[in-house]
Structure 1
Amino acid sequence: MERLIFAEEHDQFRASAARFMAAEVAPHAERWRREGIVEREVYRKAGDAGLLCLWADPAHGGAGVADLRFDQIVIEENVRGGEPGFYLHLHSNLVAPYIAALGTPALQGRLMPRVVSGETILAIAMTEAGGGSDLRAIRTRAVREGDGWRLTGAKTYISNGILADAVVVAARTGERTLGLFVVDRGMAGFERGGKLGKMGLAAQDTAELFFNDVQVPGDNVLGDPEAGLPALMRFLATERLVAAIASIAAAQTALALTLDFAATRTAFGRPVGLFQHNRFRLAALRSRIDAAQAWIDQLVLLANAARLTPEDAAAAKLVASELEGEAADLGVQLHGGAGYMDEYRISRMYTDARISRIFAGSNEIMLEIIARGMGLDERGVP
């Protein structure tokens, strides 16, 4: 499907991003999956290549390009030709914007140049054991002490948990209020658990984080320490659109792999892709993926115009992640026994895809957001 949202400059940038993934990511991906973590150096190389935080202020080393299409291209090319466990979109599009928008000038000046260069790797810590997608259930607490804050609690399932040099931590500052705090590597009382084993995304390091009376200076507070929840809500729409971009790219990739395999794998004397049942399933999937792609492309343009709504972002994340799962599942089925072998990429894509319906808010939460946007909540129906 031709995608008209991209101009020549985007096409040139895509070619550059694809070359980077082929040269600096793909050759190392198998080893990273075995080791359960990517090399720190790949973030610095991505920074040198101009692939991190393109939107960032030139004063901090960024390109100052507030066009989500460029970030979309980086995400798509990483999914297609790099390694999905290389979480540069978490670094660039989910965490860094909190620092750039809410950080004090001192914090921005200290962190953002190193974030853009890839020398400082970022993570965000919201999830807690038993809390899941419910941010209001957060128990990690921050208590004001002098000019700073004392942070106590624990977080789990934190992506980039081992690699991260700076972590944005959501903590309770009052009975009904949350604050956002930046915890730096090496702060006394900040500890990490070991890498957590996962069913997919093997190259992506995930860990538990512990905050034992961590003294956080005042300059490390992001915005109003009692307005963390509205801030999270503000940024979550973009997070969910970014998740949708990655999921639909994975669906496209899974379908492409399956089409290639189905054209050569034979059963009863002909390629499996030529059986009517299989052809029709692939055709239906092609149609639905392309429809979702066109919609997500439109939402990227709306995000550029600051018109992305939480409901649209939730719907895109819901649809794209479900399609990713379907595409990977059908791919495994049509690969036959080969699809169950990890030497075939479709096997890894199948296990990678399962988390997409859970992170950035589970798909059940996405349905709640969409329904409430339709007026279908406890206040009554339209």
Structure 2
Amino acid sequence: MRRELFSSDHHAYREVVREFTTREVTPNLRRWDADRLIGRDVWCAAGERGVLGLGVPEEFGGAGQPDFRFRLVVVEELARAGAHALNSSFALQDDIVTPYVADLGTIEQKKRWLPGLAGGSLIGAIAMTEPDAGSDLRGVRTTAVRDGDQWVLNGQKTFITSGYNADFVIVVARTGPGTGSRDFSLVVVESGTPGFSRGRKLDKVGLHAQDTAELHFSDVRVPAANLLGTEGEGFVHLMERLPRERMSIAASAISSAQAVFDDTSRYCFERTAFGRPIGDFQNTRFTLAEIATELDVTRAYFDNAVLALNAGDLTAVDAAKAKWWATEVQKRVVDRCLQLHGGYGYMLEYPVARAFIDSRIQTIYGGTTEIMKEIIGRDIAAAHGGRPAAGAGDRARTA
């Protein structure tokens, strides 16, 4: 009973993305997993086909299309192909890094980085998390000290998505003396800058093809012009962009869950046991019915949130609801679908097995489920004159 979210333009674009996925993605998935790295050629191919840079203004080489539904088409088609690592990497590029540059960058910064981001020749990353600073970014210890016309950075970051492949990294650094909201800024560090090094590619439970790295900054000097946004406004810049980031993760969650369910539904009426399809057993049908209902109900909320995001009306609280609920639904759906596959569900040659290991991070990065509930709970408390819990954080991510 889903209302049509997409127009004819979105459907036409879907054919473009599907053709790109068939040609450039599906044949390479196993190789990328084995290499623990996504080849850079697919980034350039995505840029050429208009799969990247949708929101980048046309004067900087993008499509100039801010409608999030076009991004949703990309997410759905990559999920349909089981390209979870690439989906996450493209989401970081188009829903997090690119908006930071497009919204906060000077004209010179936009000219320098946006065309490459849109075309796929540049890969960006954002470095927030540190070994001792995850959910509460006030614990960030990486510093950026002004020295004449340069910033000097020292510190360490971890769990940085695209950290190994990235051509530049937006670094959250302490630029003030304390831990207040005005003591942090965003500084861009480009690959090859002396003192900037990458540690090992981290060995993760899932998303094996997606490079996740440790980053080290030792007296790294970058031009003062590499400050992104306003000095001391780093936290403000982060908070302002949370709704889109969390909607991007929710989009991946609902799309991946739907793809796994569709595949499992077909499997249940192809696989036989005791002389009939397993889909003919009441327990299987009840399970499929429960999953289908949960997905439809979740999609209804999510679709409304997409329209609110497009209209500029989506609040951080509503985005938090979409993020935690959709990712928890994804986790439940994938687990139940794997169970319906029996022993085959545990074999990595089956899409459900890869979806199982790739989905586990979804309730953690971009803000854990617990942090999302805290944000929502604080909003409810404020409406009734309550006070927020002491020390409650608002961030957690692997990015």
Residue matched to 1:184: 190
Classify the secondary structure of the residue corresponding to 2:138. helix
- Is structure 2 residue 325 aligned with structure 1 residue 325? no
Q: Indicate the residue corresponding to 2:134 in structure 1.
A: 132
Per-residue CA distance 1:270-328 (angstroms, 9 max, x = gap): 22222212211210110111111121111111111110100111100111101111111
Indicate which of 195, 200, 217 corresponds to 1:194.
Answer: 200
State whether residues 22 and 82 of structure 1, in contact with CA within 8 Å, keep that contact through their aligned partners in structure 2. Answer: no
Aligned match for 1:290, one of 287, 296, 310: 296
1:366 corresponding residue in structure 2: 372
Q: Secondary structure at the match of 1:374?
A: helix
Spell out, residue by residue over 1:330-361, the C-alpha distance to the aligned partner (whole angstroms, 9 max, x if none): 11101000011111111110011100000001
- Give the structure 1 partner of residue 78 of structure 2: 78
Is this contact kept in 1: 2:201–2:213, CA < 8 A? yes
Aligned-pair distance for 1:82?
Answer: 5.4
* Equivalence for 1:213: 219
Within 5 Å, which residues of 2 pair with 1:44-193?
A: 44-81=44-81, 83-86=83-86, 87-174=89-176, 175=178, 176=180, 177-193=183-199
Q: Which moved more, 1:79-88 or 1:151-160?
A: 79-88
Q: TM-score of the superposition, structure 2-length normalised?
A: 0.93
Q: Deviations over 1:77-124 (max 9, x none)?
A: 111125111111111111111011111211111111111111010111
Q: Equivalents in 2 of 1:90, 1:79: separation in Å? A: 15
Query: 8 Å contact 1:53–1:93 — kept in the other structure?
Result: no
The answer on 1:340 being equivalent to 2:346 is yes
Q: Distance in 1 between matches of 2:333 and 2:206?
A: 16
Cα 1:370–1:190, aligned 2, differ >3 Å: closer, same or farther?
same
- Rounded to whole Å, the distance in 2 between the matches of 1:61 and 1:351 is 36
Distance 1:280 1:134 in 2: 42
Alpha-carbon distance, 1:3 to partner: 4.2
Secondary structure in 2 matching 1:85: helix
Measure the CA separation in 1 of the matches of 2:232 and 2:352.
45
| TM-score of the superposed pair, with normalisation by structure 1 | 0.97
Residues in 2 aligned to 1:361 and 1:113: alpha-carbon distance in whole angstroms? 29
Secondary structure (helix, strand or coil) at the match of 2:84 reads coil
Aligned to 2:15: 15
Map residues 223-238 of structure 1 onto 2, 5 A cutoff: 223-238=229-244
Q: Distance in 2 between the 1:152 and 1:60 partners?
A: 32
Give, in whole Å, the separation in 2 of the partners of 1:331 and 1:41. 33
CA contact (8 A) 2:331 2:359 kept: yes
Partner of 1:275: 281
SS in 2 for 1:5: coil
Q: What is the distance in 1 between the residues matched to 2:3 and 2:36?
A: 35
Kept in 2, the 8 Å contact 1:180–1:228? The answer is yes
Q: Distance in 2 between matches of 1:157 and 1:127?
A: 7
Q: Which amino acid aligns with 2:234?
A: G
How far apart are residue 379 of structure 1 and its match? 5.6
Residue number in structure 1 paired with 2:25: 25
Structure 1: tracts of 5 or more residues without a match:
none
Answer whether contact 2:82 2:355 (CA < 8 A) is retained.
no
| Superposed displacement of residue 73, structure 1 | 0.7
Taking only aligned residues, the RMSD between alpha carbons, in angstroms, comes to: 1.5
Q: Distance in 2 between matches of 1:197 and 1:216?
A: 30
User: Take 1:381 and 1:281, find their aligned partners in 2: how far apart are those partners?
Assistant: 41
Q: Secondary structure at the match of 2:173?
A: strand
Match among 328, 353, 357 for residue 351 of structure 1: 357
Quick check: 1:331–1:346 contact (8 Å CA) kept in 2?
yes
- The AA in structure 2 aligned to 1:70 is F
348-357 vs 291-300, which deviates more? Answer: 291-300
Change (3 A) 1:348 1:377: farther
Q: Once the two structures are aligned, what percentage of the paired residues are identical?
A: 45
SS at match of 1:375: helix
Query: Which deviates the most, 274-283 or 234-243?
Result: 274-283
**111 and 242 in structure 1: CA distance in 2 versus 1, 3 angstrom threshold:** same
What do the CA deviations read for 1:189-246 (whole angstroms, capped 9, x no partner)? 1100121111111111110011111112111111112010011001111100000000
How many matched pairs? 382
Q: Deviations over 1:35-64 (max 9, x none)?
A: 101001111110000111211111101121
Equivalent-residue separation in structure 1 for 2:63 and 2:262 (angstroms):
33
